[in-house]
Amino acid sequence: MPNQYKVPQDVEAEDTVVGSLTLKQLLKLFTGGSLAYLIFLSWPQLFIFLGLPIIIFTFLVTFVKINEQPFEKFLFSAISFYLFPQKRVWKKIPQEIKSQENPTPQKTEEKPLKKKVSKSELEKLAYILDTRGYLEKEEKKEDNLEILKERLIEKRSHTEEDNHPLSIEEIFKNNEGK
C-alpha cells in the first residue's frame, strides 16, 4: 500500500498557540496588558487616563482588521495621509549654463561606408542562395553534381519512353522538391 501524505489546505494561516490566538496576538496582548498593569501599580489615579487608552489600543491592534489589513498598517497609512501633502507639484530648478571656451564642433551626418565585395565572395553567396544554404563546401558540390547527372540520365530514359523529352530546366525544377 503506497504511503499517503496529508497536503496542507491553508498554508498562509498562522498557527494558533492558545485557543484561537496566534503567537503575534498573544505577544501584543501581553505587552499591552503588562504596560497597563505597570501604570495601574505606579499611578492608580491616572489609570483611567493612561491605562484604559492603552488597553483599547492593544485590543484594536490585536483583533481589528480594516479592509482585510491589520490595524497597525491602516493606522500608519492614515497618519502618513494626514502628515504628507496629497498634491504633488513639480518645481523646475534652473541650472547654471556653463559656457565653454572651445565649443565642440557639431557632428555632421556620417555616410555609411560601402563595403567592397570581391567577385569570389559574391560567387560564394550566390552559390549558397542557389542551393538554399544546404551546400556550403566544394566537396558536397561535386557529390551533388554526380547525383544530379544520375537523375538527369534517369529522367531522360523515362521521357524517351514517354516520347516527349524534358529540358534541363524542367528536370531541375522537378528535383528541387527532392
Question: Nine-digit cell at 58?
Answer: 492593544
- Separation CA 18–CA 55 (nearest Å): 20
How far is it, in rounded angstroms, from Cα 129 to Cα 123? 10
- Structural domain contains residue 72: yes
Q: Is residue 67 part of a domain?
A: yes
| Total domains present in the chain | 2
Are 72 and 21 part of one and the same domain?
A: yes
Which residues lie below 8 Å from residue 74, measured CB to CB, with a gap of 6+? 66, 67
Select from 62, 83, 104 the last residue of a domain: 83
Are both 77 and 127 inside the same structural domain?
no
Provide the whole-model pTM: 0.43
Would 22 be classed as within a structural domain?
yes
* Whether residue 159 has pLDDT greater than 60: no
Q: What is the pLDDT of residues 74-109, one digit of tens each?
A: 999 999 999 987 887 888 887 777 766 665 666 667
Structural domain of 70: 16-83
> Residue 2 — pLDDT band, cuts 50, 70, 90?
confident
pLDDT digits (tens, 9 = 90+) for 3-62: 888 887 877 778 888 888 899 999 999 999 999 999 999 999 989 999 999 999 999 999
Give the residue among 129, 153, 17 at the shortest CA–CA distance from 168.
Answer: 153
In a domain, 141, yes or no: yes
